[in-house]
Structure 1
Amino acid sequence: MCEQSPAPVSDPYAYLQIVKNPDDSITRDLTNFPCAAATPDPSPQNPAVSKDLPVNQSKSTWLRLYVPSSALNDGVSSQKLPVVVYYHGGGFIMCSVDFQVFHDFCSEMARDLNAIVVSPSYRLAPEHRLPAAYDDGTEALEWIKNSDDEWIKSHADLSNVFLMGTSAGGNLAYNVGLRSAADSVSDLSPLQIRGLILHHPFFGGKERCGSEIRLANDQVCPPIVTDVMWELCLPVGVDRDHEYSDPTVGDGHENLEKIGRLGWKVMVIGGELDPMVDRQRYVAKLMKKKGVDVVEQFTSGDVHGAEVMDPSKRKTLFVSIGSFISSSR
């Protein structure tokens, strides 16, 4: 007998395990998402040591800081390590820094890249619609710049910083990068951004692109689900043709030129089985056209967020990111 294909997702709210409330909040069922505590002990089984630090207590924002265990075990080293600021995914409406999958991903990334990884939290929509997450993502950079934390002072090379994120986190890294590029008021010095690493970035638009049509029945991140995410996270009254979701509209072209002028390198990583892959390719193509130095890595057979969910795929990804970071100096 032939194995039947799984039924298409018909109820995005049930799929996401969320319930919309009358006051524009949502109730999230997080029972399927185990959390992980920070790992401050530099023991051999921990790829990285980590600890949680508050960023803005009035907003309840915080971050988890990861340092390779080898760096702490070696004592004070003259070698400062690159910094990767990593924003987690979740469609801007769910997930948290301390989810086990993100904790493991960041721990292994710190070890494999021999880098400091900083994973900031941000307020979620619809209780805090965009640009709240961008505000929080930017504030985390200010926190890093001003931090007197011993791990950062001893091990972080603040002149070699990369903004990275998966899915909504990729969108966030991109938009925080744009703000940093445009904001002459907020000088981040001595923190210097060298590039952006957009891992399966969450981009959208009203009209379906080819991959969204082709992969309409995707089981991981179908367009019917991302429609709801955008509906819940975009400012009230705007649609998916907004520059927060589609970086090619509005001031998008001008923004891409700013990135080119700054000399940042951009890495765009995607999977051919992600309904958003055509959008990601188009943004990468447009960046190149605007003079941005872009490295593209699109892998066949990979679904949205593949390397976060499948640990066996991480090594290859981190080798590619390591090469990208080395080439950006």
Structure 2
Amino acid sequence: MCIIPLFNCRRNLRTHTRTSQISLDVPLGVVEDCLGILQLLSDGTVQRAVIPLVLPGTSAQTTSPVPWKDVAYDETRDLSLRMYVPSTDAGKKLPVLVYFHGGGFCVGSFAMPDVHDACLRLAASLPAVVLSVDYRLAPEHRLPAALDDVEALFSWLRAQAQAAADAGPADFGRVFVSGDSAGANIAHHVAVRVGSGALDAGPLRIAGYVLLWPYFGGERRTASEAACPPDVFLTLALYDQMWRLALPAGASRDHPAANPFGPESPALDGVELPPVLVAVGDRDMLLDRIVEYVARLKAAGKHVELVEFPGQGHGFSVFEPRGEAASELLRVVRRFVHGPAPN
């Protein structure tokens, strides 16, 4: 086990320069155990399991169908992103897709095999320059830390757009912000901050948002939450636990970071939004909450499209990345980014 944040666990694997030990002088109790990946101990210490990661300098990089590399976007917080740049014809520009991984704000990394594979497929299939972003995780860094990390990310993006000019394949005039689960929650908050002027996009043009099964919360139980079966990945117990670990101590699930329509959340009527694509499986516990989110955006005059995938649960394309539903999701996202294929 490792008691440093996941980002540092990744760096420890890469450089073998950081180590961590747990004092055994005083027996500690486990207050929370989340998926066997992280444990919150009674003294506030967090232990994280070392998990499989796809790292630079391995055969996974040298044999990749799409070139990729890791780039620091906030060195003070040890935050990086993974950049996927598919080959293209000389002079042809590709849209940029910013992608935030899921994990309930508590677990995950762009280097996890399923996230890495998903972003490889997005980069190759759209095609697009994909920027897969890590952010600070709870409970070491409770919300709104992950949401605030977009400030540093956009500072980096603005600098890239200004430096790129006519060089390179990235078209910063066509930027799409995306994510799955908690990452889709982050994408929503990016949309609100950019659309309200609270986050400066500078020379970037946000062309749309792609929210995959967004991880929203609320104190009021929806029908789909109450009916959640026990044999799926995202259960009501896990949902409650991750919000408990991620939100500020003592905060309810109506906190603005969780509930986009909570009592203290900003009104969306005056927020300027480009088109939004929302995807969800109809067996997802969060279905009713997501359907309500889309309905309220439409009522506020926003251009939003909802695509439901029959028989699919939360994170279906992550758990079955080569399945037909995952392939259909890629086609839906490609149509949203590039428009309908010509006849």
TM-score category by the smaller chain?
Answer: 0.7 to 0.9
SS of 1:83's equivalent?
A: strand
1:78 Cα deviation after fit: 1.8
| C-alpha distance in structure 1 between counterparts of 2:94 and 2:247, whole Å | 36
Q: Given that residues 272 and 299 in structure 1 are in contact (C-alpha distance below 8 angstroms), is that contact kept between their aligned partners in structure 2?
A: yes
User: Whole-Å Cα distance in 2 between the matches of residues 115 and 99 of structure 1?
Assistant: 20
Most deviating of 150-159 and 298-307: 150-159
Query: Higher mean Cα deviation, 165-174 or 141-150?
Result: 141-150
Moved more, 147-156 or 13-22: 147-156
Partner Cα separation in structure 1 for residue 227 and residue 139 of structure 2: 29
Tell me the CA shift for residue 14 of structure 1.
Answer: 5.5
Q: Find out whether 1:122 has 2:135 as its counterpart.
A: yes
Return the match for 2:202 from 167, 182, 189.
Answer: 189
1:155 equivalenced with 2:169 (yes/no): yes
Name the counterpart of 2:183: 169
Pick closer, same or farther for the CA change 1:258–1:42 going to 2, 3 Å: farther
CA offset digits 1:126-167 (Å, max 9, x no partner): 111111101112321221220278799401111111110011
Instruction: Give distance in 1, aligned partners of 2:231 and 2:336.
Output: 30
Q: What RMSD, in angstroms, separates the aligned Cα atoms of the two structures?
A: 2.6
> Structure 1 or 2: larger helix share?
1
Equivalent residue for 1:273, pick from 280, 283, 291: 283
Q: Secondary structure at the match of 1:282?
A: helix
Structure 1, gaps ≥5 residues long:
1-10
- C-alpha contact 1:165 1:197 (8 A) present in aligned 2: yes
Q: Please point out which of 211, 229, 242 is paired with 1:198.
A: 211
Secondary structure of the equivalent of 1:58?
helix
Distance 1:312 1:219 in 2: 19
Secondary structure of the structure 1 residue equivalent to 2:42? coil
Count of residue pairs brought into register by the alignment: 307
Q: Could you say which residue in structure 1 is the equivalent of 2:328?
A: 316
Q: Which residue of 1 aligns with 2:20?
A: none
Task: Tell me if the contact between 1:197 and 1:266 (Cα under 8 Å) persists in the aligned partners.
Answer: yes
With over 3 angstroms needed to count, the CA separation of the structure-2 counterparts of 1:325 and 1:303, relative to structure 1, is same
Task: Give secondary structure in 1 for the equivalent of 2:85.
Answer: strand
Query: Structure 2 regions of 5+ residues with no counterpart?
Result: 1-30
Q: Distance in 2 between matches of 1:138 and 1:236?
A: 23
Report the CA distance shift for 1:154/1:291 in structure 2 as closer, same or farther (over 3 A): same
- Matching residue within 110, 128, 143 for 2:156: 143
Secondary structure class of the residue paired with 2:168: helix
Q: Is the 8 A contact 1:67 1:151 kept in 2?
A: no
What's the counterpart of residue 46 of structure 2?
Answer: 26
8 Å contact 2:172–2:205 — kept in the other structure? yes
Residue 297 (1) aligns with residue 307 (2) = yes
CA drift at 1:40: 10
Tell me how far apart the structure 1 counterparts of residues 63 and 156 of structure 2 sit (CA, whole Å).
30
Rounded to whole Å, the distance in 2 between the matches of 1:152 and 1:167 is 34
Change (3 A) 1:26 1:315: same
2:72 equivalent in structure 1: 54
**Structure-2 separation of matches of 1:177 and 1:37:** 31
Check the 8 A contact 1:162/1:193 in 2, yes or no: yes
Query: Given the superposition, is the C-alpha separation of residues 304 and 42 from structure 1 closer, same or farther in structure 2, using an over 3 Å criterion?
Result: closer
Task: Give secondary structure in 2 for the equivalent of 1:235.
Answer: coil
The equivalent of 2:84 in structure 1 is 66
The whole-number CA distance in structure 2 between the counterparts of 1:40 and 1:151 is 32
- Tell me, yes or no, if structure 1 residue 95 matches structure 2 residue 108: yes
* Structure 1 position 24, deviation (Å): 3.0
Distance 1:40 1:19 in 2: 30
User: How far off is 1:47 after superposition?
Assistant: 3.0
User: CA 1:153–1:180 in 2, change beyond 3 Å: closer, same or farther?
Assistant: farther
What CA distance in whole angstroms lies between the structure 2 residues aligned with 1:41 and 1:191? 34
Q: Which has the higher contact order (CA 8 A, sep 6+)?
A: 1
Mark the CA change 1:279 to 1:37 in structure 2 (over 3 Å): closer, same or farther. Answer: same
Relative to the length of structure 2, the TM-score reads: 0.82
How far apart in 1 are the matches of 2:185 and 2:220?
19
Equivalent-residue separation in structure 1 for 2:153 and 2:273 (angstroms) = 23
Shift of 1:181: 1.9
